[in-house]
Amino acid sequence: MSTAKQKMRERKLRNQPASVQYSSTSQTVESSSQNGGDAPATAGEIHDGAPSDIQKSTDKQKSRGQQGGWHRGHQKDGGGYVREMPQHITGGAFAMARAAEVKAMLKAISTRTGSCQLFEALPRHMRRRAMSHNVKRLPRRLRDFASRLREKSLQAGSKKKKEKAKCRSRKARRRHGNLLLEFNRRQRKNIWLETHIWHAKRFHMVKKWGYCLGDRPTLKCYRPCYRAMSTHCLLMDLSYYCCIELQGEEDKLLAALSQLTSKEAGPTFAAALCLSGLRQGSVVVYRAGGFPAQALGPVTFLWRPRTQGLTHRQLWIWAHPTMKQDLLPELQIVCQCSEAVVPPAVPVITPVDVPYTAEPQHEPAKSPKAVKTQGTKRKCSSKDPSEPPAKKIVGDGTRPPGTPVTWRSCSTGIVINDLTMEMVRYRLIGPQSHSVLTETLEAATDCDASVKLQPSSLWWPEHCKDDDKMGLHRQQADVFKTLKDLYSTGEVPAGIVLGLTVDDPRLTIPQKKVKALTCVKQIQEEDEQKRRELMLRGVPQHCCQSLLWEQSVRDNVTENKISEQELNRMKSDVLVPGSRLSPIPPQSRIPILLLHQPGKQVGHEMSSWGAGWDLLLPKAWGMAFWVPLVYRGVLIGGLNMSLKHSQNKGSPHFPHDYPDCPAGARFQEQQEIELLNKFKRRPPAKRINYIKQGCLAPFRCPWQQLAEEWELITREGREERKRDDQSGTTTHSDTAVEEKTTHINISETKPPSCFTVLRNRKSLKLLSGWCKPTTSKGQRLCRINQAPPLDHTAARSFLTPNEMSLAWVRFSLLFKGNPELHAMVCVPLAEDLKLLRNKSDINCPQEPVHKNHFKTRTKNKKKGSKKTPASSLSSDKTVEKESELPSTSEPNLSAAEDPPTSSDLVFGLWPDPLPSITSHCSRVTLGWVTQGDFSLSAGGGEALGFVSVTALVHTLLSQPSEHRGLVLLRNPSSLHYHFAKINIEV
């Protein structure tokens, strides 16, 4: 019997009774005929009068594997079946055998086998799909069986997964309290801003830095957003920035903060204008005593204006959320604030309407009847005390109540407070930002005399009782009114501060969206004098005060905010629909701070482009100001527009353009993982082969290796000059950078120092003068102070402290082309500079196609073949000999200490460790691009990035005077070089 037939026989006999046996032997036939035609009975197994069905199942299993027995199909000579009727039978044995067969038959009928379903017992014309979920549609004789099957399936499903709770109706889910509880649950991992729901309906949301932020609008509005930044106003929500408050004596605060900054990089926390509270400052913070290395990132700070007779000062430091984990511990170290102050536990107040007790009451408490007034909806006046209290989404709603946010120093007396999510910060960018603010906001009106006489728990009626404070408020309102007469936001001094108290902007919101514009009218002579005073000197010092600095005032404003429902009810009671409420409720006064944000401050083009205002508010008032601002015709931007704003200004964006900071390093690692995963998701046939394109690192920028290689080149050139001076011969090693880069050995011992970004202003001005800065596209030279001539002596003295430094530069393409992310910056050859005479991008240099050194290993990886590393290295060397490129530009694979295995290879990518970066291509590499795109402001391709300071100085020395500052840019996916001009804007 074949294997297939034997398996089929076993399937058929799977549910047969043990008493039924088949045999074709003569002995079995005789015994079966004597016992009623059953299984064989031998002398050793069955005694006289014993039935044949008592044979054990083990004998049945043994009989299945024998050659003799039942066979499928027709058998020769009858196949051993009984041909003659038995002469006599035993009655008792025959009856017992037949009874066992009937029992087995009934059992087989009642047992469901295989894929047999209950509905197969019904004829086809009676089967219905609804029977699967409604048992009553089945015939009555099958309902009990169907119910048992249903219970059995439910029990089996409950073991695998929990049964879903019954979903409440949409009306119950959309109730205000239930919505807030659901929103709180969804904020456990990523915090929502107060404008989250507004953004979620209109933006692509991303989860970054512990927040859920809007990245870009769902509409195509890239060019409208640029036009808004250039001609009108763009609004962004920056409430995710972290605010850290420092309080203490002024001299102790300055002594502690001086360890984090350096005067060589620009103004510090002790700048005179910033220290007085007149200006908002910005500075790059380092670890204590770590300048110029160990940078943490940029921060903006604001001092509270001085109070006469007091030396106690208050300082706010605003930092990016990725930088907070590095900045806060450093501030605690320099301020010696190690003692954490645990906030007191806030007691949970149970509703007054329902008396809550720990023990169950026998009689239910009677709740007071709700008084129903005409025109209002009836509401439930009681609440189930077992339900959790509905918490409002105010500020940082997901912060645990026991987390310390205050640290105090016993020695210095300095107190550090974490005010993250305690204030709302909006940024308005554009020349008409001041017009939007003056149209949206109105200075707070004075309270009535009757309100002043009565004691009040609100802060504004108590504030109105002081004549000096109200006089200051009127002066601030006059300065704010003067802003209407300005033509552009960039006319005022950079970084000025204005404190103000305004009315609730929801009271003056227009019915339709109206675009706010500058009111051009004939200004009186007195107003013109005020406008000139504001443009030249800024806001007076006493007008920079604001009650937003007071924690008690912020809490009072937040807790007593009028809800939207109550405000709409008050508006409906107005006699003339659409008119303003009179008198204004005393809760509708909000202290704010207006901080001027300077625009483009470097370079010689587009001065003050991108200037605007920052609006600081107490928490819980975000949407109350957001919607009125939107109704003034502003456009809304997200994270993507913030990056484009920095790119057009030519300033580095954090954390993208801070590779020497811990946050910048973490960002680059995450960016590399995302780009690599996106690359791997594409089919292998559709991927770009970066090895053949000559790109070593298309998804990251190995800054450390670049700085180390150029430092090694400088060291070798210095030693070569010393040998030449001793031998009396003269060489020109500085002008032959290409010859040095071809002899770099990566396996040599590298210096342990890390690279830094050059932020010394004197060094940057000197380097900028050597590059001969020009306008965009290199049309004409810019007028700068005369820089000392560039020679070998000046270059040597300049590079001594800056060998491992990178310089932030701007690249302007001379012809067509769009630079991309991680584009390579290379040194042009002498033959390349001759192509500039054609003044066309067609004749730009090309990079020859590189050989894929890992093609054989990648194929072996797919086939699963196992080769030794020695054989794979030998095969790669043979491929290297056949390369079309010169031998000097090919990487030396034998120099690598640990050759990559086949499991680490990705088709089209170089594995780690990378070969020499500077000499990999036919042109020497200087650096990479971190931001690149078509610039709408310049009308051509522009890029921002970093280059090695050592490489830049060597390049400027080797270039002729008329072509000084020219480099080549090449995108990672292209072999085409583009001519570009380097500009270092200071």
The pLDDT value recorded for residue 377 is: 46
Q: Please indicate, yes or no, whether residues 190 and 224 belong to a single structural domain of this protein.
A: no
pLDDT band at residue 756 under the 50/70/90 scheme: very high
Q: Which residues in 942-966 are b (16+ Cβ under 10 Å) and which e?
A: bbbbbbbbbbbbbbbbbbeeeebbb
The pLDDT value recorded for residue 840 is: 67
pLDDT band at residue 65 under the 50/70/90 scheme: very low
pLDDT band at residue 497 under the 50/70/90 scheme: very high
Average pLDDT over residues 957-982: 90
Q: Please indicate, yes or no, whether residues 250 and 203 belong to a single structural domain of this protein.
A: no
Distance CA 424, CA 241 (A): 9
My answer on whether omega of the bond before 86 falls inside 30° of 0, hence cis, is no
The pLDDT value recorded for residue 789 is: 82
Tell me if 599 is assigned to some domain. Answer: yes
Helix (H) or strand (E) holding 224, with range, is helix 222-231
pLDDT band at residue 834 under the 50/70/90 scheme: confident
Phi, psi of 209 (to 5 degrees): 60, 25
726 has pLDDT over 60: yes
356 has pLDDT over 70: no
Q: Please indicate, yes or no, whether residues 416 and 484 belong to a single structural domain of this protein.
A: no
The pLDDT value recorded for residue 30 is: 43
What tens digit of pLDDT does each residue of 395-426 get? 454 455 567 788 998 888 899 999 998 999 99
Number of domains in the chain: 6
Q: Please indicate, yes or no, whether residues 636 and 512 belong to a single structural domain of this protein.
A: yes
Q: Please indicate, yes or no, whether residues 798 and 860 belong to a single structural domain of this protein.
A: no
Average pLDDT over residues 529-549: 90
What's the number of CA atoms in the CB half-sphere (13 Å) around residue 57? 6
Q: Is 395 left (phi over 0), alpha (psi -120 to 50) or beta?
A: left
pLDDT band at residue 735 under the 50/70/90 scheme: very low
Q: Please indicate, yes or no, whether residues 825 and 719 belong to a single structural domain of this protein.
A: yes
Tell me if 44 is assigned to some domain. Answer: yes
Q: Please indicate, yes or no, whether residues 790 and 863 belong to a single structural domain of this protein.
A: no
Tell me if 515 is assigned to some domain. Answer: yes
Share of the chain above pLDDT 70, in %: 75
875 has pLDDT over 80: no
The pLDDT value recorded for residue 837 is: 75
Average pLDDT over residues 564-576: 87
Average pLDDT, the chain: 79
223 has pLDDT over 80: yes
The pLDDT value recorded for residue 431 is: 93
Domain of residue 794, CATH code:
2.40.30.110
List the single range of 302-316, 359-373, 448-462, 759-773 with lowest mean pLDDT. Answer: 359-373
Do residues 966 and 746 touch, judged by C-beta distance below 8 A?
no
pLDDT band at residue 42 under the 50/70/90 scheme: very low
Domain with 33, as residue range(s), is 3-73+89-110
DSSP strands (E only) in 562-603: 589-597
Tell me if 478 is assigned to some domain. Answer: yes
Average pLDDT over residues 515-543: 82
What's the number of CA atoms in the CB half-sphere (13 Å) around residue 236? 27
Tell me if 667 is assigned to some domain. Answer: no
pLDDT band at residue 161 under the 50/70/90 scheme: low
Which residues neighbour 810 within 8 Å (Cβ) at sequence distance 6 or greater?
A: 603, 650, 942, 943, 944, 982, 983, 984, 985
The pLDDT value recorded for residue 684 is: 85
Average pLDDT over residues 922-938: 91
351 has pLDDT over 70: no
Q: Please indicate, yes or no, whether residues 867 and 954 belong to a single structural domain of this protein.
A: no
Q: Please indicate, yes or no, whether residues 888 and 925 belong to a single structural domain of this protein.
A: no
Distance CA 802, CA 710 (A): 11
What tens digit of pLDDT does each residue of 265-301 get? 989 999 999 999 999 999 999 999 888 889 999 999 9
Name the more confident of 271 and 836: 271
Tell me if 152 is assigned to some domain. Answer: no
Q: Please indicate, yes or no, whether residues 487 and 452 belong to a single structural domain of this protein.
A: yes
Q: Please indicate, yes or no, whether residues 440 and 548 belong to a single structural domain of this protein.
A: yes
Decide which of 651, 676, 710 is a domain's last residue. Answer: 651
Decide which of 602, 631, 651 is a domain's last residue. Answer: 651
Tell me if 978 is assigned to some domain. Answer: yes
Tell me if 544 is assigned to some domain. Answer: yes
Do residues 5 and 72 touch, judged by C-beta distance below 8 A?
yes
What tens digit of pLDDT does each residue of 322-342 get? 999 999 999 999 998 888 887
pTM given for the model: 0.75
Average pLDDT over residues 940-946: 92
Other beta carbons within 10 angstroms of residue 900's beta carbon come to 17
Determine the Cα angle at 899 with ends 898 and 901, to 5°.
115
Distance CA 735, CA 59 (A): 98
Q: Please indicate, yes or no, whether residues 634 and 771 belong to a single structural domain of this protein.
A: no
- Give whichever of 87-101, 620-634, 881-895 has the largest mean pLDDT: 620-634
748 has pLDDT over 60: no
Do residues 382 and 351 touch, judged by C-beta distance below 8 A?
yes
**How long a stretch of residues is the chain?**
986
The pLDDT value recorded for residue 967 is: 92
